[in-house]
Amino acid sequence: MKPTPTKLKDITLSQWVGYLNAFPVPENTGDETADFVYNLLNRWMYYTGNSQPTQDELVNVLKEQSIADALLSAEKESLNYHDTYIWDNAVWKIQPVIQTTGKLTREEFEITQDIALIYSDMQDGSNEALYHLCAAYFRKEGEPYTSDLVDNDGDRIALMKTLPLNLALCVHNYARDFIYLYLDSIKHDPS
């Protein structure tokens, strides 16, 4: 049997999005123990590709997935974004889509609106929007933002699907913080 991932870097963004789409809401029948076992087994089968365990394997599988879930959750809680990352044989940075020190130009305002809509789509349950968010914010060092980066059929979206989940979650956290700061600044300075 293939082991379950115990580190976020061992799960790709497309695997995570696929899991969220396959199991959007954890099972909740009212029987906490049965729901817990059902949800653990779904995660284990999805991420390992293994079939339903036999009765003899069940206890070990549940232990393995419980440990993996605890390790993944602890890692997720301790994530911090950094200045640079080495990934796909290049130096990458999590960086804003616009670089402005004054009033936004019309183009910068439109870009910011587009990014806010992507983030809003994520909040509304569109897990695929995370590909676009990563493509917009996670760029090679010195690479400017262009709308081509978030094109559905573009090479960058395909590449972002292979992004390790630890990096994708750092991008998500950065973008969330950036958007909240931007919205807060508009609220305090509407000009």
Q: 74-115: per-residue pLDDT in tens?
A: 999 999 988 899 999 999 999 887 766 666 677 777 777 777
User: Of 19, 54, 77, which one is at a domain's C-terminal end?
Assistant: 77
| 28 and 112 assigned to the same domain | no
| 65 and 100 assigned to the same domain | no
| 115 and 156 assigned to the same domain | yes
Q: Are 40 and 69 in contact (CB under 8 A)?
A: yes
Q: Quick one: tokens of 44?
A: 């284990």
If one counts the domains in the chain, the total is: 2
Q: What is the pLDDT of residue 64?
A: 95
Alpha helices in the chain (DSSP H): 13-22, 32-48, 55-77, 106-123, 129-137, 155-160, 165-188
Whether 146 has a pLDDT exceeding 90, the answer reads no
Tell me, rounded to whole angstroms, the distance of Cα 48 from its chain centroid. Answer: 19
Whether 190 has a pLDDT exceeding 60, the answer reads no
| 61 and 152 assigned to the same domain | no
Range of the domain at 98: 85-188
| 63 and 92 assigned to the same domain | no
Whether 57 has a pLDDT exceeding 90, the answer reads yes
pLDDT tens digits for range 4-24: 999 999 999 999 999 999 988
Whether 125 has a pLDDT exceeding 60, the answer reads yes
Q: What is the pLDDT of residue 123?
A: 73
Tell me, yes or no, whether 111 lies in a domain.
Answer: yes
| 48 and 102 assigned to the same domain | no
The overall average pLDDT reported for the chain is 87
User: Of 77, 99, 117, which one is at a domain's C-terminal end?
Assistant: 77
**Residue 49 zone, left/alpha/beta (φ > 0; ψ -120 to 50; rest):** left
> If pLDDT is split at 50, 70 and 90, which confidence band does 117 have?
confident
Instruction: Write phi, then psi, for 97 (nearest 5 degrees).
Output: -80, -20
| 145 and 94 assigned to the same domain | yes
